[in-house]
Structure 1
Amino acid sequence: MNVFILALFLLIANGESADLQPQNAAVLQGSSAQFNCSSTQPPQIMTFMLNGRLVVTIMQTSGVLNSTDRFSASNFTTPGNYKWQFTISNVQRSDAGVVACQVLGGDAVTATLSVQDRGTVQIAGGNQTKMLGVQTQFSCLAAGWYPEPNMSWSVNGETQFCNKSSVTQGGLYNSSCTLTLTASKNSTVQCLAAIPALNTPDSNTVFLTVVKKDQTVLIAITVAFSAAALLFLIIYGIIFFCRRKKKKSSYQEEVRRARVQSQARISAIEEVRGRDNRGYITDGRDRAYAYANIKGQNNGGVWYTKNSNRLQLPDDFFGDDQRKHRHMTMV
């Protein structure tokens, strides 16, 4: 208590005024703010106030007297420049206002503190693809900002005009901005939101892809033709496979049927020949076999060969009751 009374008494006396920098500080809520108060002469007492409230006292003999977790001071004195840095930690919106520094016998110097909120930036709809010459619209929303953000568009690095509207909710600004653009070439589109507390604006980026009309038609025709060709090949392949399988099955069946019929025909012919004409001699092995049997007999007879019309038959080829009545027919 005595310290504060002493400080107030000393401040009444005439002395050198201090210099306070920066004159205006804008910081984000929850961050830190620093102010440097300096003089050309070593101050006996230096005080810092926030919105008229004394928060830090510095004495030349004993240093900082009443620093806290949120309000503190550090000595950055150099030869010829007696400087103390006043720091406000975890800045709150209620800290916004006037910061004052005063040295013994001098006038108070002031600066302004602005506490701001950083929101979000989002372009609705994301990336877009448009035909050449078609107008397209981009909409950007900057939500949860304080103060009201400055918004702008950048198309391929060139700044574009922004139609902005804002509403407040819970002491924060929600701002929207629209951009109308004619699709002339592939472009990079950015929406930017800025407040003094940010060194660089926050932004959101999307891409505009421009498609020529003839290319669109060509792509559509190509896709349709490819799909039709693929469908035709699939159907043709199925039909070809089924026909081939059916043809192979029919061929095998015909071969089997022909073999059975041939065997049946041969069996029938042999059976009929042996029964109706006992004197018939077939070509090939059957003729050789018959000839051998006939030749093996000692009986005389006549037979027909390939080079002769006569066939020597054994004398006993016919029975007694058939010798005069049986005729031999050559086929």
Structure 2
Amino acid sequence: MERFQKFILLPFILAASLTGLGFCYSILDGPTNATVLAGSEARFNCTVANGWTILIWLLNTNPVLTVINSHGPIETSDRFTSHSYNNSQSFTSELIIHNTQLNDSGRIECSIQRLDGSSFAFLSVQVNGSLVMKNSTLIVKENTTVEVVCEALGWAPAPEITWMTNDSLIDKSRYVTQQSQGSNSLHNALSVLTLTPMNTEILTCLADIEALPNPQNATIAVIVGNSTLDSSYSEDSTSTWVIVLAVVFSIVGFILLIILIWVVVRCCCLKKGKWNFIIDLYVKKKNKQKN
């Protein structure tokens, strides 16, 4: 009976012994998933009960930072640093990843070197690319169907494209968006909106990914003209050209007139000089004959 009682009490005695050696600590609160833009910071917290000995942070199974209870954090790279927070019951280690890169995406693990002593989360690093429209203004004739193109370049992941007109969302059936794989694991998207505007519209193309606080946007003004406006514009253009040509011809004519006057005066001066020379010779000859 005594041996049976000892057998029953053995797990409790062993647990008490392990507690005394510091084996009872565990992870109280592990890291949570994070989505950030490339180039920004990513932060993860791991909280363990007091009595811990070593805590290791791993990125995609590769150790990036170690914290030793008796020593503190051991940082081997400027890109991976940490802060620590203590209280009477627990210890919290904050991993800070600086200047995040696209290839940092993956599994973030907090480990306290026990069989069940690890907790993990996932980091998603996204890239905010460019959004362009070829023109800022498009002039179309009344009752004419046109296609407006919006292009997103160098994104990760591929952005979701939406369109708005005068601050109202446009139905997805009115535009088509195609995605393609670019270089360096980045994505491109080309969206084409087809419309027949009846009045002047302000169109906005929006590209969005999870890490962006607000979608990126590009805007174009679609101006509708009619035949009266077109003819008026044509007449105004013709009148403008006539005025320009008249001014140009007037200036050219004035310059030619000045050149002509200069040539005439020059010729007259030369002729006058020649006659004076002949008269001088004649006078000298007469004077010699008298003498």
Q: Which bracket does the TM-score occupy, shorter chain normalised?
A: 0.5 to 0.7
Name the counterpart of 1:196: 210
Identity in percent: 25
SS of 2:187 mapped into structure 1: strand
Give the alignment of 1:214-253 within 5 angstroms.
214-217=228-231, 219-220=232-233, 223=236, 227=239
Name the counterpart of 1:208: 222
Q: CA deviation at 1:178?
A: 0.5
- TM-score (structure 2 length as normaliser): 0.64
Q: Is the 8 A contact 1:74 1:84 kept in 2?
A: yes
- Counterpart residue identity of residue 215, structure 2: P
Structure 1 or 2, whichever has the larger Rg, is 1
Q: Is the 8 A contact 2:47 2:91 kept in 1?
A: yes
- Counterpart residue identity of residue 223, structure 1: D
Give the whole-Å Cα distance in 1 for the aligned partners of 2:233 and 2:78: 68
- Counterpart residue identity of residue 195, structure 1: I
Give the whole-Å Cα distance in 1 for the aligned partners of 2:41 and 2:214: 18
Give the alignment of 1:158-307 within 5 angstroms.
158-160=168-170, 161=172, 162-170=175-183, 171-217=185-231, 219-220=232-233, 223=236, 227=239
When residues 37 and 220 of structure 1 are mapped into structure 2, their CA distance, relative to the original with a 3 A threshold, is same
SS of 1:18 mapped into structure 2: strand
Q: CA deviation at 1:15?
A: 3.3
For residues 33-90 of structure 1, give each alpha carbon's deviation from its aligned partner in whole angstroms, at most 9, with x where no partner exists. 1112224657443321111122222233322123421111112446766432201122
When residues 127 and 59 of structure 1 are mapped into structure 2, their CA distance, relative to the original with a 3 A threshold, is same
Name the counterpart of 1:38: 47
When residues 107 and 159 of structure 1 are mapped into structure 2, their CA distance, relative to the original with a 3 A threshold, is farther
Name the counterpart of 1:307: none
Give the whole-Å Cα distance in 2 for the aligned partners of 1:52 and 1:140: 40
Q: CA deviation at 1:121?
A: 0.6
- Counterpart residue identity of residue 142, structure 2: L
Name the counterpart of 2:157: 147
Q: Is the 8 A contact 1:67 1:73 kept in 2?
A: no
Q: Is the 8 A contact 1:132 1:184 kept in 2?
A: yes
* Aligned length, in residue pairs: 218
- TM-score (structure 1 length as normaliser): 0.57
Q: 1:126 aligned to 2:139?
A: no
Q: Structure 2: state its 5+ residue gaps.
A: 1-21, 251-291
Q: CA deviation at 1:214?
A: 4.1
Q: 1:138 aligned to 2:148?
A: yes
- Counterpart residue identity of residue 46, structure 1: L
Name the counterpart of 2:101: 92
Q: Is the 8 A contact 1:146 1:172 kept in 2?
A: yes
Give the whole-Å Cα distance in 2 for the aligned partners of 1:154 and 1:185: 15
For residues 170-204 of structure 1, give each alpha carbon's deviation from its aligned partner in whole angstroms, at most 9, with x where no partner exists. 22212100001221222221111122222212111
Name the counterpart of 1:301: none
Name the counterpart of 1:52: 61
Please give the root-mean-square deviation of Cα atoms over the aligned residues, in Å.
3.0
Q: Structure 1: state its 5+ residue gaps.
A: 1-11, 239-331
- Counterpart residue identity of residue 186, structure 1: T
Q: Is the 8 A contact 1:163 1:178 kept in 2?
A: yes
